[in-house]
Amino acid sequence: MPANLNNYYGIDFGTTTSAVVGYMVMDHKPEQFFYGDDEGRPLPSVVAINKTTGEITTGREAWNKKMELSETCEYFSSVKSVLDRDTRTTIAGREWTPVDIAAELFKTLKTSVKERTGNDLSIATVAIPIGFSPEKRDKLRSAAAKAGITISSFVSEPTAAFFANYEELRSSPIVAVFDWGGGTLDVSILKNENGRISELATAGSNIAGDYIDNKIAQRIHAKIARKKGIELAFSDMPSSAQDLMLVRSERAKRALGDDDTATISINNYGPFGACRELLDYDWFADIVEPEVSMAVDCLKKAIEQSGVGLANIDRIVMVGGSSNLRPLIERMDSIYGEKLFFPDETMWNVGQGAARLAMTPGDYYSNQSIGIILSDNSFFALLSPDTPLTNWNMECHFGIVDTNEEARFVFGGSSDIEESPARFKSLSVPAYRFLQEQIILRAFVDENMVFKVIAGSTMRPREYRRVWDYSQLKCYYKLPEMRVEL
Amino acid sequence: MEAYIEKLNQLIAIKKNKGNKITKKEREEFLSAWGELIVAENGFSETVERYFYEGFVFAGAKPFVQWVLLSEDKFSAINSLFKGHFFGKDTPTSFRVLVSTLAQLIISNPTEKNLICPVIENIPSVSKTKENKTLVDGHKVILKYFISELNSSSLFPVLSELNIKPTVIRSFVEVFEVMINRLDLTSLSTKDAQKVVAINKWLHPDNEVEKAEKAELIVSQDSQNVVKERSEEVLNQVEQNPPRHFYNPYDQLISMLNETISLSRGLRDESKSTEKKCTVLQEAVSNFQREIEVLNNQLKTSKQREASLEKQLIDRGTQISGLSLQVKSLEDEIQKLTEVLEAKDQEIDQRTQMMDALSRDRTKQADEQMHRLASDLKVEYRDFHDAETLTMDCDLGENMREQLKNVFSILSKVGISLD
């Protein structure tokens, strides 16, 4: 028997950084690989396109020269947030959509895989935030496809983070995933019932690491300006000086994770000349206190929404680059103590989880009921709770009992559907009212987890068919039995 | 080629070389070979007929008549002569054959007297040339194949009792008469002369006296006139007063004795003829037996060879089956080994791929280490580069000292110990 070498990939397509984690499995023994930028870190999710030449710069290089490149390039960050927008930007004679820009990041990730191991990244499981809309999922598929990558399935980022640390968390029924990265804070309360992962509550914020870096830079700039007696806003500084200040601020932030003081010095800070500022931890803690409080409050809010109470939270998984912020850790420790859990590779955790799920895929199950309210007010269920959603579909044949020229279906089964306006929860299908006429209704869940119903008369051509879709399908993820020893 | 054909060819060739001097042995050999041929051909076929005509000098029509007499349907047999390919093509030859046939039939004295009819009927037609002239050498043929062949005991059938039209009989008689009249009776032997008298009697049974007298006249050669007158008187007397027949018991006894002798002779000849036929047939049977023996031997040898070959075939078949099984087994083994080899090749490829990936990863990690170091130092370098042209002052100097500390700190973090 051959060794049976297989490759599995998980992609964390983050707002600020993106990363690929791959497993090469031979003889049931997986080798883990991290694919990011040239410095071995996750790839900054930024794309700069030269306004004149159309040259594309992505990742770390674009991030390091953010301000400088902003002058000559169209600079795109947080493209994931705007994927579903129908914007078009013409740069150097070429029209760019958010999908095209996201495709450039996928291409860079694909190249990184090729350069690192010689393998071809062609299929992957992609982690997405909770509440990532079907439209965005569809666009993300398109962007990946443009880079030659097929998305086999989506998994929510908290679920991926949970699964990446499954060995440590499998005995914890309620887990909070606190994912604070460069661009967003995502908090999820997950319920784990023997591998059945459902989300009890979510909360989030767009204030994250990049925001904090920028805030520190501005605070330092203000101190320097005050000391030098020159009134000049940070935004009015030369872009290279801004870049330098941002880099120094980020380093100071990291340095203050271990030390009580950090120095920011810039030899030629524009009109300020040579500058130097000594930062102490207390000052820094005061500066980031609002963001830390916001993050802690966000977690509390999620816990409250979940309804399980703090006492029932077993573990809090701290992932994302900003989760290492010292003031945050001190605050969280004072509140949650031993419940805090810091994985080894916080930057790669989501990607790891996605890759593991690619290797041993689980399945989505419905966590709600969807059906039709019949003419006698009884409920006819199309989709019942705990139904596996992969390849699920159902076909029903209906007759017409009144004299209307249309068959009208009213959907229900969950409060959000039933409480929505009639036009959102009903579907009218043209009909002839013939005696033997039937309305065929076919229900299925598409690859982007949208519940769809296509209905049409047996006596009408295809163009008279009508579609009803429901994108807020509640489901849970059933983790697979672990078949590979990780 | 069959032995009797070869024999016939050989005899005919010898005859051509030697002329007409045929020995008794050659005659018997011809009769034997021709007899085998007609038996083999199952009748008077064209080949048989050809050898009959070509070898006519050996025994005349004797073999043919012998075959006719042995045939079940003798009339069909005798008629086959006239339906033959060669009969009638050459008038003298046909005449010779018929005269000989007639003689042999008379000698044989068959029970079926009418067997002679078709011969007599056909003789007139072959006795004349195309110009309707009587054959010049006809009398010689009569002498050689008829008169000479007959013996003193030969019994002539009574022509009037045969199923032949009188007109045809008359034509036959005329032909024979003309031919016989051409004979030089003086040159004949006494026996042949007596035979001529007997023939004349046969041809003219009602004119015996007259003919006898005529013959007497010719022999005595007395004064022709006196004889003529006397003859005329006698003839007149005969015409006016038919001769009286007186009863003579001795004549009747002699006649009976003659008849008995004639029959005895006929029986003897028939016995001899039958004996010869038996000899011919025995020889033919003997030849057949020899051939059968040879063929049996050949068959036996062939069967032995066939059995041997079959045994070899079975042995070879068994060997082939065994070898086929070995080949199949080896093919299966090769297939399995090929599959194992392919699997191993695939495994090697995959392990190489894995090793390559791990190797690349390690190299990449080292590169990333360098890049991280470069990236960390790059900021310090850019800052330093920006200040290269600036006038040195206390702040710049302090900054540079700070940057130098940062550089050392960065280096120590990547493992470069400077202490």
Residues of A in contact with B369 (CB under 8 A): 40
Contact present, A468 and A456 (Cβ < 8 Å) = no
The string of pLDDT tens digits covering residues B175-201 is 888 888 888 887 888 888 888 888 888
CATH number of the domain to which A405 belongs: 2.60.34.10
Residues A350, A402 share a domain: no
Please, what is the angle between helix B208-220 and helix B190-203, to 10°?
150
Asked whether the beta carbons of residue A263 and residue B402 sit closer than 8 angstroms, the reply is yes
Asked if residue A402 is part of any domain, the answer here is yes
Residues A72, A129 share a domain: yes
Single pTM value for the model: 0.60
Q: In B, what residues contact A, Cβ < 8 A? A: 343-344, 346-347, 350-351, 353-354, 356-358, 360-361, 364-365, 367-369, 371-372, 375, 378-379, 382-384, 386-387, 390, 393, 395-396, 398-400, 402-403
Residue B58 has pLDDT above 80, yes or no: yes
Asked whether the beta carbons of residue A268 and residue B390 sit closer than 8 angstroms, the reply is yes
Write the DSSP symbol of residue B128.
B
CATH number of the domain to which A120 belongs: 3.30.420.40
Residues of B in contact with A251 (CB under 8 A): 379
Asked if residue A410 is part of any domain, the answer here is yes
Asked if residue A132 is part of any domain, the answer here is yes
- Name which of B94, B28, B106, B93 is nearest B65 in CA terms: B106
Contact present, B108 and B69 (Cβ < 8 Å) = yes
The string of pLDDT tens digits covering residues A293-322 is 999 999 999 999 999 988 999 999 998 888
Given this model, what pLDDT does residue B158 score? 87
Residues A239, A356 share a domain: no
Query: Which residue segment(s) compose the domain that A15 sits in?
Result: 1-165+345-360
Given this model, what pLDDT does residue A183 score? 81
Q: In A, what residues contact B, Cβ < 8 A? A: 1-5, 24, 26, 31, 33, 38-41, 60, 64, 115-119, 240, 244, 247-248, 251, 263, 265-268, 273-276
Instruction: Give just the sign of the alpha carbon dihedral A234, A238, A243, A248.
Output: negative
Residues A448, A374 share a domain: yes
Asked whether the beta carbons of residue A268 and residue B354 sit closer than 8 angstroms, the reply is no
Asked whether the beta carbons of residue B383 and residue A2 sit closer than 8 angstroms, the reply is no
Query: Could you tell me the CA-to-CA distances from A99 to A66, A275, A390, B23 in Å, in that order?
Result: 21, 42, 26, 129
Residues of B in contact with A19 (CB under 8 A): none
Residues A151, A18 share a domain: yes
Distance of CA B223 to the CA centre of its chain: 70
More confident residue, A115 or B16: A115
Given this model, what pLDDT does residue B295 score? 94
Residues A409, A354 share a domain: no
Going by pLDDT thresholds of 50, 70 and 90, the confidence category of residue A484 is: very low
Token pair, residue A199, equals 């989300």
Nearest CB to B383: which of A31, A64, A244? A244
Residue A244 has pLDDT above 80, yes or no: yes
Going by pLDDT thresholds of 50, 70 and 90, the confidence category of residue B39 is: confident
CA A6 to chain B, closest CA, distance in angstroms equals 9
Residues A407, A459 share a domain: yes
Share of chain A above pLDDT 70, in %: 98
- Give the mutation candidate from B342, B347, B407 for the A interface (greatest A CB count, under 10 A): B347
Given this model, what pLDDT does residue B232 score? 59
The string of pLDDT tens digits covering residues A142-176 is 999 999 999 998 988 888 988 888 888 888 999 99
Residues of A in contact with B354 (CB under 8 A): 3, 5, 24, 26, 31
Contact present, B98 and B121 (Cβ < 8 Å) = no
Residues of A in contact with B396 (CB under 8 A): 267, 273-274
Given this model, what pLDDT does residue B222 score? 45
Going by pLDDT thresholds of 50, 70 and 90, the confidence category of residue A21 is: very high
Residue B252 has pLDDT above 60, yes or no: yes
- How many domains would you assign to chain A? 3
Given this model, what pLDDT does residue B227 score? 45
Residue A96 has pLDDT above 70, yes or no: yes
Residues of A in contact with B410 (CB under 8 A): none
CATH number of the domain to which A238 belongs: 3.90.640.10
Distance of CA B408 to the CA centre of its chain: 122
More confident residue, A389 or A68: A389
Residues A33, A4 share a domain: yes
Given this model, what pLDDT does residue B236 score? 62
Average pLDDT, stretch A55-75?
86
The string of pLDDT tens digits covering residues A397-456 is 988 777 778 888 999 988 888 888 888 888 988 888 777 788 999 999 988 888 999 999
Asked if residue A313 is part of any domain, the answer here is no
Given this model, what pLDDT does residue A481 score? 66
Least confident of A25-29, A110-114, B116-120: A25-29
Residues A219, A73 share a domain: no
Average pLDDT, stretch A371-385?
89
Residues A424, A276 share a domain: no
Query: Would you call B134 helix, strand, or coil by DSSP?
Result: strand
Instruction: Please report, as a single letter, which amino acid is at residue A217.
Output: A
Average pLDDT, stretch A31-55?
91
The string of pLDDT tens digits covering residues B378-409 is 888 888 888 888 888 888 888 888 888 888 98
Asked whether the beta carbons of residue A117 and residue B360 sit closer than 8 angstroms, the reply is yes
Pick from A246, A262, A287: which residue ends a domain?
A287
Asked if residue A156 is part of any domain, the answer here is yes
Given this model, what pLDDT does residue A483 score? 43
Residues of A in contact with B364 (CB under 8 A): 40, 115-116
Q: Mean pLDDT in chain B?
A: 84
- Give the mutation candidate from B377, B379, B403 for the A interface (greatest A CB count, under 10 A): B379
Asked if residue A306 is part of any domain, the answer here is no
The string of pLDDT tens digits covering residues B143-165 is 888 998 888 778 888 888 888 88
Any residues with CB less than 8 A from the CB of A156 and at least 6 apart, and which? A127, A128, A129, A130, A132, A188, A199, A477
Asked whether the beta carbons of residue A276 and residue B351 sit closer than 8 angstroms, the reply is no
Question: Which residue on chain B is closest to A32 by alpha carbon?
Answer: B358
Asked whether the beta carbons of residue B375 and residue A1 sit closer than 8 angstroms, the reply is no
The string of pLDDT tens digits covering residues A338-360 is 899 999 888 898 999 999 888 88
Residues A388, A246 share a domain: no
Across A18-22, A265-269, B231-235, the highest mean pLDDT is recorded for A18-22
Share of chain B above pLDDT 90, in %: 20
The string of pLDDT tens digits covering residues B263-303 is 888 888 889 989 999 999 999 999 999 999 999 999 999 99
Where along chain B do its domains lie?
3-276
Going by pLDDT thresholds of 50, 70 and 90, the confidence category of residue A486 is: very low
